[in-house]
Amino acid sequence: MFGKKILLIDDDVDFLKLTSLIFKESGALAITARDGLEGMGKLFTQRPDLIILDVMMPGIDGFQICQRIRQYSNTPLIMLTALDHDEHMLKGLEAGADDFLSKPINREVLLARAKAVIRRSQQNNDYQEVFNYSDGRLEIDIEKHRVLIGGKQIKLTPVEFRLLAYLVSSAGRVLSFEQILDNVWGREYKGNDDYVHVYISHLRGKIEQDPKNPRYILSIHGVGYIFEKQDFAEALPGQ
């Protein structure tokens, strides 16, 4: 973490002090903000490498701040929650968060996740093969990081795009939960299968005609997922 700038946005002064110390001891520069608006200002003036954002804050909550940040920046962002983790994970995903951690925070886990999120953001998605996928409905351009449905571009978060690209690059092959976690999130996430389930569900909602009866991303019960190529070339426009 040496030399990295970490922006901490939380209204809990004691938490800011503790978390700042954790990052400073790892060689990082900790920048703090007591609310979302102050955090937005420091995002533009300090240009951090990572944002740690609390969900529960007075006034504008973490989800709203995350949405605003994503309108202007793809800076890696980890959300913190002390409440229902699964519910907040889904809302945070929709807002554009890269990761989630529950309070109270474990020092080793926080640093490991922070390093993993920063590392992923610096990768250029160097897949073994740069490819395009098109079936008459869904189009994926790996090099341009672009996904279209029926000719209209859809918005995917960086994590969603990496997940889709990895699935498509292994089309027709069953990928275990562990393989997906390792290749999309990193080894630090071993055992966190819930990440895969939540993101797959949300990705289906964006690319499938009927998310409850998916054709692209199929579940292999107890094992993992498989991406099945389709052929919509003969389908009517918009189908």
Same domain? 183 vs 80: no
| CB 21, CB 28: distance < 8 Å | no
Same domain? 91 vs 150: no
DSSP secondary structure string for all residues of 35-59: SHHHHHHHHHHH--SEEEEES--SS
| CB 155, CB 213: distance < 8 Å | no
Distance of CA 69 to the CA centre of its chain: 14
Model pLDDT, residue 48: 96
| CB 59, CB 35: distance < 8 Å | yes
Q: What is the DSSP letter of 167?
A: H
Which tokens sit at 152? 């209209």
Same domain? 156 vs 189: yes
For the stretch 85-123, pLDDT in tens is 667 777 777 788 888 888 888 999 999 999 999 988 776
Q: What is the DSSP letter of 189?
A: G
Q: What's the CATH number where 137 sits?
A: 1.10.10.10
Which long-range contacts does 204-207 make (Cβ < 8 Å, 24+ apart)?
A: 206/149, 206/154, 206/156, 206/160, 207/138, 207/147, 207/149, 207/154, 207/164
Q: What's the CATH number where 89 sits?
A: 3.40.50.2300
Same domain? 15 vs 107: yes
Residue 232 lies in a domain: no
For the stretch 9-44, pLDDT in tens is 999 999 999 999 999 999 999 999 999 989 999 999
For the stretch 135-179, pLDDT in tens is 989 999 988 889 999 999 998 887 888 899 999 999 999 999 999
**End of a domain among 122, 141, 175?**
122
- Looking at the 3D structure of the chain, how many domains does it have? 2
pTM of the full structure = 0.75
Boundaries of domain holding 100: 5-122
Three-class SS state of 64: helix
| CB 7, CB 51: distance < 8 Å | yes
